Amino acid sequence: MANMFALILAIATLVTGIIWCFERFRWAPARRAKIAAVNAQTAGTIDQETLAKVGKQPGWVETGSSVFPVLLLVFVVRSFIYEPFQIPSGSMMPTLLIGDFILVEKFAYGIKDPITQTTLIKTGQPKRGDIAVFKYPLDTRLDYIKRVIGLPGDRVTYDPLNKQVTIWPTCSNGQPCDEALAVTYSDMRPSDFVQMFSRGGTGESSSGFFQIPLNENAPLGGIRLGERDETLGTVTHRILNVPGAQDQLGAYKRQPGQQLAEWVVPAGHYFMMGDNRDNSADSRYWGFVPERNLVGKATGIWMSFEKQEGEWPTGVRLSRIGGIH
Protein backbone atom coordinates (compact mmCIF):
# COMPACT_ATOMS: atom_id res chain seq x y z
CA MET A 1 0.00 0.00 0.00
CA ALA A 2 2.80 2.43 0.90
CA ASN A 3 4.66 1.63 -2.33
CA MET A 4 1.46 2.11 -4.34
CA PHE A 5 0.94 5.54 -2.77
CA ALA A 6 4.57 6.43 -3.54
CA LEU A 7 4.06 5.35 -7.16
CA ILE A 8 0.85 7.37 -7.51
CA LEU A 9 2.52 10.41 -5.94
CA ALA A 10 5.51 10.07 -8.27
CA ILE A 11 3.28 9.80 -11.37
CA ALA A 12 1.13 12.76 -10.27
CA THR A 13 4.26 14.85 -9.65
CA LEU A 14 5.70 13.90 -13.04
CA VAL A 15 2.48 14.66 -14.96
CA THR A 16 1.87 18.01 -13.26
CA GLY A 17 5.57 18.82 -13.67
CA ILE A 18 5.32 18.30 -17.43
CA ILE A 19 2.23 20.53 -17.54
CA TRP A 20 4.07 23.19 -15.48
CA CYS A 21 7.07 23.12 -17.85
CA PHE A 22 4.93 23.37 -20.99
CA GLU A 23 2.91 26.18 -19.44
CA ARG A 24 5.95 28.14 -18.32
CA PHE A 25 8.12 27.75 -21.40
CA ARG A 26 5.67 27.22 -24.27
CA TRP A 27 1.96 27.81 -23.72
CA ALA A 28 2.17 31.01 -21.61
CA PRO A 29 4.64 32.72 -24.02
CA ALA A 30 2.39 31.69 -26.95
CA ARG A 31 -0.66 33.27 -25.27
CA ARG A 32 1.24 36.47 -24.56
CA ALA A 33 2.33 36.62 -28.16
CA LYS A 34 -1.25 36.08 -29.34
CA ILE A 35 -2.51 38.88 -27.06
CA ALA A 36 0.21 41.21 -28.35
CA ALA A 37 -0.73 40.40 -31.96
CA VAL A 38 -4.43 41.10 -31.35
CA ASN A 39 -3.53 44.36 -29.62
CA ALA A 40 -1.42 45.39 -32.59
CA GLN A 41 -4.16 44.51 -35.11
CA THR A 42 -6.79 46.52 -33.21
CA ALA A 43 -4.45 49.40 -32.39
CA GLY A 44 -5.15 48.81 -28.70
CA THR A 45 -8.89 49.46 -29.00
CA ILE A 46 -9.99 45.96 -27.97
CA ASP A 47 -11.59 45.76 -24.51
CA GLN A 48 -9.89 43.87 -21.71
CA GLU A 49 -12.65 41.27 -21.36
CA THR A 50 -12.31 40.20 -24.99
CA LEU A 51 -8.54 40.27 -24.68
CA ALA A 52 -8.70 38.00 -21.65
CA LYS A 53 -10.76 35.49 -23.63
CA VAL A 54 -8.14 35.51 -26.39
CA GLY A 55 -5.39 34.55 -23.95
CA LYS A 56 -7.50 32.42 -21.59
CA GLN A 57 -5.57 29.69 -19.78
CA PRO A 58 -7.33 26.28 -19.89
CA GLY A 59 -8.63 25.15 -16.50
CA TRP A 60 -6.73 21.86 -16.51
CA VAL A 61 -3.49 23.72 -17.25
CA GLU A 62 -4.10 26.17 -14.41
CA THR A 63 -4.86 23.32 -11.98
CA GLY A 64 -1.87 21.22 -13.02
CA SER A 65 0.54 24.15 -12.87
CA SER A 66 -0.62 25.32 -9.45
CA VAL A 67 -0.65 21.82 -7.91
CA PHE A 68 2.84 20.84 -9.15
CA PRO A 69 4.92 22.84 -6.59
CA VAL A 70 2.87 21.37 -3.72
CA LEU A 71 3.18 17.81 -5.04
CA LEU A 72 6.90 18.27 -5.63
CA LEU A 73 7.45 19.44 -2.06
CA VAL A 74 5.40 16.54 -0.64
CA PHE A 75 7.19 14.04 -2.88
CA VAL A 76 10.68 15.22 -1.89
CA VAL A 77 9.93 15.44 1.85
CA ARG A 78 8.05 12.14 2.01
CA SER A 79 10.46 10.20 -0.18
CA PHE A 80 13.81 11.41 1.12
CA ILE A 81 13.43 13.32 4.40
CA TYR A 82 10.50 12.44 6.69
CA GLU A 83 7.43 10.27 6.33
CA PRO A 84 4.52 10.03 8.78
CA PHE A 85 3.37 6.65 10.03
CA GLN A 86 0.58 5.54 12.35
CA ILE A 87 1.13 2.89 15.05
CA PRO A 88 -1.65 0.35 14.44
CA SER A 89 -0.91 -2.23 17.15
CA GLY A 90 0.48 -2.58 20.66
CA SER A 91 3.64 -4.52 19.76
CA MET A 92 5.93 -1.56 20.63
CA MET A 93 4.28 -0.61 23.93
CA PRO A 94 5.13 1.07 26.23
CA THR A 95 7.47 3.05 23.92
CA LEU A 96 4.84 3.55 21.22
CA LEU A 97 1.10 3.27 21.78
CA ILE A 98 -1.75 2.42 19.44
CA GLY A 99 -2.82 5.74 17.91
CA ASP A 100 0.61 7.39 17.98
CA PHE A 101 1.53 9.17 14.76
CA ILE A 102 5.28 9.17 14.30
CA LEU A 103 7.82 10.79 12.01
CA VAL A 104 10.31 8.46 10.35
CA GLU A 105 13.68 9.82 9.25
CA LYS A 106 13.94 8.41 5.72
CA PHE A 107 17.59 9.35 5.16
CA ALA A 108 18.87 7.71 8.37
CA TYR A 109 19.77 4.44 6.64
CA GLY A 110 20.37 5.72 3.12
CA ILE A 111 18.78 7.78 0.35
CA LYS A 112 16.55 5.30 -1.48
CA ASP A 113 14.50 5.17 -4.65
CA PRO A 114 10.97 5.64 -3.24
CA ILE A 115 9.48 3.14 -5.68
CA THR A 116 11.98 0.26 -5.74
CA GLN A 117 13.64 0.96 -2.35
CA THR A 118 17.05 0.68 -4.03
CA THR A 119 19.72 2.51 -2.02
CA LEU A 120 21.07 5.43 -4.04
CA ILE A 121 23.38 6.96 -1.42
CA LYS A 122 24.49 5.29 1.82
CA THR A 123 24.10 7.64 4.79
CA GLY A 124 24.23 5.30 7.79
CA GLN A 125 23.28 1.94 9.25
CA PRO A 126 20.91 0.89 12.03
CA LYS A 127 22.33 0.87 15.53
CA ARG A 128 21.38 -1.62 18.21
CA GLY A 129 18.42 -0.15 20.05
CA ASP A 130 17.08 1.94 17.13
CA ILE A 131 13.36 1.88 16.47
CA ALA A 132 13.13 1.12 12.76
CA VAL A 133 10.34 1.01 10.19
CA PHE A 134 10.78 -1.63 7.50
CA LYS A 135 8.96 -3.61 4.84
CA TYR A 136 7.70 -6.86 6.33
CA PRO A 137 9.92 -9.54 4.77
CA LEU A 138 7.01 -11.94 4.15
CA ASP A 139 4.85 -9.25 2.50
CA THR A 140 6.66 -6.08 1.45
CA ARG A 141 3.35 -4.28 0.94
CA LEU A 142 3.18 -3.98 4.74
CA ASP A 143 5.20 -1.61 6.93
CA TYR A 144 6.34 -2.93 10.32
CA ILE A 145 8.02 -1.14 13.21
CA LYS A 146 10.26 -2.88 15.75
CA ARG A 147 13.44 -2.31 17.75
CA VAL A 148 16.80 -3.32 16.30
CA ILE A 149 18.21 -6.05 18.54
CA GLY A 150 20.74 -7.95 16.43
CA LEU A 151 23.17 -6.50 13.88
CA PRO A 152 24.76 -8.43 10.99
CA GLY A 153 26.96 -11.21 12.38
CA ASP A 154 25.47 -11.14 15.90
CA ARG A 155 24.47 -14.36 17.61
CA VAL A 156 21.18 -13.73 19.43
CA THR A 157 19.51 -16.01 21.93
CA TYR A 158 16.21 -15.52 23.73
CA ASP A 159 15.35 -17.22 27.02
CA PRO A 160 11.56 -17.77 26.86
CA LEU A 161 11.38 -18.50 30.59
CA ASN A 162 13.27 -15.48 31.92
CA LYS A 163 12.31 -13.51 28.79
CA GLN A 164 15.79 -12.12 28.33
CA VAL A 165 17.97 -11.51 25.29
CA THR A 166 21.65 -12.43 25.09
CA ILE A 167 23.81 -11.09 22.26
CA TRP A 168 27.27 -12.12 21.13
CA PRO A 169 28.40 -9.35 18.74
CA THR A 170 30.69 -9.84 15.77
CA CYS A 171 34.42 -9.54 16.49
CA SER A 172 37.11 -8.21 14.16
CA ASN A 173 37.55 -11.64 12.54
CA GLY A 174 33.92 -11.62 11.42
CA GLN A 175 32.86 -14.33 13.89
CA PRO A 176 30.65 -13.94 16.99
CA CYS A 177 32.76 -12.91 19.99
CA ASP A 178 33.26 -15.19 23.00
CA GLU A 179 32.16 -12.37 25.29
CA ALA A 180 28.49 -11.39 25.23
CA LEU A 181 27.30 -7.80 24.96
CA ALA A 182 26.26 -6.22 28.24
CA VAL A 183 22.48 -6.71 28.18
CA THR A 184 20.96 -6.00 31.59
CA TYR A 185 17.46 -5.98 33.06
CA SER A 186 15.93 -4.22 36.00
CA ASP A 187 13.62 -6.04 38.39
CA MET A 188 10.11 -6.66 37.12
CA ARG A 189 7.55 -4.16 38.38
CA PRO A 190 3.81 -3.72 37.77
CA SER A 191 2.96 -1.59 34.76
CA ASP A 192 0.05 0.81 34.53
CA PHE A 193 -0.98 -1.01 31.34
CA VAL A 194 -3.66 -3.67 31.59
CA GLN A 195 -4.35 -6.09 28.77
CA MET A 196 -7.95 -7.17 28.37
CA PHE A 197 -8.82 -10.66 27.18
CA SER A 198 -12.08 -12.04 25.86
CA ARG A 199 -13.21 -15.59 25.28
CA GLY A 200 -14.64 -16.72 21.98
CA GLY A 201 -15.26 -19.89 20.04
CA THR A 202 -11.55 -20.29 19.31
CA GLY A 203 -10.34 -19.59 22.84
CA GLU A 204 -9.00 -16.52 24.62
CA SER A 205 -7.81 -13.48 22.66
CA SER A 206 -6.58 -9.99 23.43
CA SER A 207 -9.21 -7.28 23.20
CA GLY A 208 -7.16 -4.18 23.96
CA PHE A 209 -4.71 -2.35 26.22
CA PHE A 210 -5.75 0.23 28.80
CA GLN A 211 -3.82 2.47 31.20
CA ILE A 212 -5.15 1.92 34.70
CA PRO A 213 -3.40 3.45 37.75
CA LEU A 214 -1.49 1.03 39.95
CA ASN A 215 -3.74 1.82 42.92
CA GLU A 216 -6.76 0.48 41.00
CA ASN A 217 -7.56 -3.17 40.42
CA ALA A 218 -7.54 -4.55 36.92
CA PRO A 219 -11.11 -5.09 35.66
CA LEU A 220 -12.55 -8.56 35.15
CA GLY A 221 -10.90 -10.18 32.16
CA GLY A 222 -7.82 -7.97 32.44
CA ILE A 223 -4.22 -8.76 33.35
CA ARG A 224 -1.85 -6.09 34.62
CA LEU A 225 1.34 -6.30 32.58
CA GLY A 226 4.83 -6.43 34.05
CA GLU A 227 7.40 -3.82 33.11
CA ARG A 228 11.18 -3.57 33.37
CA ASP A 229 14.09 -1.72 31.83
CA GLU A 230 16.22 -3.45 29.20
CA THR A 231 19.68 -2.05 28.46
CA LEU A 232 21.35 -3.04 25.19
CA GLY A 233 24.89 -1.75 25.56
CA THR A 234 24.27 1.98 26.03
CA VAL A 235 20.58 2.08 25.04
CA THR A 236 17.96 1.68 27.78
CA HIS A 237 14.24 1.32 27.13
CA ARG A 238 11.19 -0.19 28.80
CA ILE A 239 9.68 -3.52 27.83
CA LEU A 240 6.43 -5.24 28.78
CA ASN A 241 5.62 -8.86 29.58
CA VAL A 242 2.40 -10.71 30.29
CA PRO A 243 2.83 -12.44 33.70
CA GLY A 244 2.70 -16.19 33.26
CA ALA A 245 2.54 -16.08 29.46
CA GLN A 246 4.65 -18.58 27.55
CA ASP A 247 6.08 -18.13 24.07
CA GLN A 248 4.92 -20.40 21.26
CA LEU A 249 8.28 -22.08 20.87
CA GLY A 250 6.95 -24.29 18.10
CA ALA A 251 6.31 -21.16 16.04
CA TYR A 252 9.87 -19.83 16.44
CA LYS A 253 11.88 -19.46 13.25
CA ARG A 254 14.35 -22.34 13.31
CA GLN A 255 17.63 -21.40 11.64
CA PRO A 256 19.51 -24.35 10.08
CA GLY A 257 22.51 -25.34 12.21
CA GLN A 258 21.29 -23.41 15.25
CA GLN A 259 19.46 -24.46 18.38
CA LEU A 260 15.87 -23.42 19.02
CA ALA A 261 15.65 -19.76 20.17
CA GLU A 262 19.14 -19.05 18.82
CA TRP A 263 19.88 -17.11 15.66
CA VAL A 264 23.01 -15.87 13.85
CA VAL A 265 22.16 -12.73 11.93
CA PRO A 266 23.29 -13.02 8.27
CA ALA A 267 25.30 -10.29 6.57
CA GLY A 268 23.10 -7.44 5.39
CA HIS A 269 20.25 -8.42 7.74
CA TYR A 270 18.88 -7.37 11.15
CA PHE A 271 17.08 -9.08 14.05
CA MET A 272 14.04 -7.12 15.25
CA MET A 273 11.87 -7.42 18.35
CA GLY A 274 8.90 -5.52 19.74
CA ASP A 275 9.07 -3.92 23.19
CA ASN A 276 5.78 -5.59 24.15
CA ARG A 277 7.56 -8.94 24.10
CA ASP A 278 4.60 -11.28 24.61
CA ASN A 279 2.46 -9.41 22.09
CA SER A 280 4.89 -9.01 19.21
CA ALA A 281 5.22 -11.03 16.01
CA ASP A 282 8.87 -10.33 15.25
CA SER A 283 12.16 -11.91 14.14
CA ARG A 284 11.69 -14.73 16.65
CA TYR A 285 8.84 -15.97 14.47
CA TRP A 286 9.49 -14.84 10.88
CA GLY A 287 13.24 -14.29 10.68
CA PHE A 288 15.55 -11.47 9.64
CA VAL A 289 14.99 -8.11 7.95
CA PRO A 290 17.12 -7.48 4.84
CA GLU A 291 18.85 -4.11 4.71
CA ARG A 292 16.99 -3.26 1.49
CA ASN A 293 13.68 -3.47 3.42
CA LEU A 294 14.61 -0.68 5.83
CA VAL A 295 12.45 2.43 5.46
CA GLY A 296 13.88 4.67 8.17
CA LYS A 297 14.34 5.47 11.85
CA ALA A 298 11.45 6.57 14.07
CA THR A 299 12.41 9.92 15.63
CA GLY A 300 9.36 11.61 17.10
CA ILE A 301 5.62 11.62 17.83
CA TRP A 302 3.71 14.44 16.14
CA MET A 303 0.19 13.42 17.20
CA SER A 304 -1.38 10.77 19.44
CA PHE A 305 -4.99 9.63 19.68
CA GLU A 306 -6.63 7.57 22.39
CA LYS A 307 -7.74 4.44 20.60
CA GLN A 308 -7.75 0.67 20.47
CA GLU A 309 -6.69 -1.46 17.54
CA GLY A 310 -9.27 -1.28 14.75
CA GLU A 311 -11.42 1.27 16.60
CA TRP A 312 -12.11 4.98 16.19
CA PRO A 313 -10.23 7.51 18.40
CA THR A 314 -11.88 8.62 21.62
CA GLY A 315 -9.50 11.43 22.57
CA VAL A 316 -6.15 13.12 22.06
CA ARG A 317 -2.95 12.48 24.08
CA LEU A 318 -1.16 15.82 23.74
CA SER A 319 1.34 14.84 26.44
CA ARG A 320 2.87 12.23 24.11
CA ILE A 321 3.84 14.71 21.40
CA GLY A 322 7.63 15.02 21.15
CA GLY A 323 10.64 12.75 21.01
CA ILE A 324 10.54 8.98 21.38
CA HIS A 325 12.10 7.71 24.62
Catalytic residues: 91, 146
- What's the chain look like in SS3? CHHHHHHHHHHHHHHHHHHHHHHHHHHHHHHHHHHHHHHHHCCCCCCHHHHHHHCCCCHHHHHHHHHHHHHHHHHHHHHHHEEEEECCCCCCCCCCCCCEEEEEECCCCCEECCCCCCEEECCCCCCCCCEEEEECCCCCCCEEEEEEEECCCCEEEEECCCCEEEEECECCCCCECCCCCCEEECCCEEEEEEEEEEEECCEEEEEEEEECCCCCCCCCCEEEEEEEEEEECCEEEEEEECCCCCCCHHHCCCCCCCCCCEEECCCCEEEEECCEHHHCCCHHHHCCEEHHHEEEEEEEEEEEEECCCCCCCCEECHHHCEECC
